[in-house]
Structure 1
Amino acid sequence: MPNLQRWLFVLSTIGLLSVVETDVRSGEPDGKRVLLTVDYGDGVQKKFTSIAWKEKMTILDMLNVATRHPRGIRFKYRASGSIALLTSIDDLKNEGGKGKNWIYWVNQKLGERSFAIRSLSAGDHVLWRFGTYE
Structure 2
Amino acid sequence: MTTPAVKPAAKRAADPRWRLAMGMIPVLVGVLIYRLATSMPLTPEEAPPAGPVGAEVVVLTITQPDAPAVEKEIPWSAGQTVADATRLAADTEWRGEGEMALLESLGGVPNQGADGLNWQFEVNGKYATAGAGAIRLEPGDRVLWKLAPYE
TM, length-normalised to structure 2: 0.60
Amino acid at match of 1:85: L
Q: Which residue of the partner structure matches residue 82 of structure 2?
A: 59
Q: Which residue of the partner structure matches residue 104 of structure 2?
A: 87
Asked if residue 132 in structure 1 is aligned to residue 134 in structure 2, the reply is: no
Give unpaired runs (5+ residues) of structure 1. Answer: 1-28, 67-72
Instruction: State the Cα distance separating 1:77 from its structure 2 match.
Output: 1.0
Amino acid at match of 2:60: L
Q: Secondary structure at the residue paired with 2:67?
A: coil
Q: Secondary structure at the residue paired with 1:45?
A: strand
- In the TM superposition, structure 1's runs of 4+ consecutive aligned residues that sit over 3 Å from their partners are none
Q: Secondary structure at the residue paired with 2:96?
A: strand
Q: How does 1:63-78 map to 2 (within 5 A)?
A: 63-66=86-89, 73-78=90-95
Change (3 A) 1:99 1:30: closer
Deviations 1:37-74 (CA, angstroms, capped at 9, x unpaired): 0112223221103x1111111011102222xxxxxx21
TM, length-normalised to structure 1: 0.68
Distance 1:95 1:106 in 2: 22
Amino acid at match of 1:82: E
Tell me how large the CA RMSD over aligned residues is.
1.6
Change (3 A) 1:125 1:97: same
Give the alignment partner of residue 113 of structure 1, picking from 113, 130, 135: 130
Give the structure with the higher percent strand: 1
On the 8 A contact 2:98/2:134 being kept in 1, the answer is no
Higher-Rg member (1/2): 2
Q: Which residue of the partner structure matches residue 103 of structure 1?
A: 120
Asked if residue 32 in structure 1 is aligned to residue 49 in structure 2, the reply is: no
Instruction: State the Cα distance separating 1:81 from its structure 2 match.
Output: 5.7
On the 8 A contact 2:95/2:103 being kept in 1, the answer is yes
Distance 1:87 1:79 in 2: 10
Amino acid at match of 1:36: L
Distance 1:59 1:130 in 2: 16
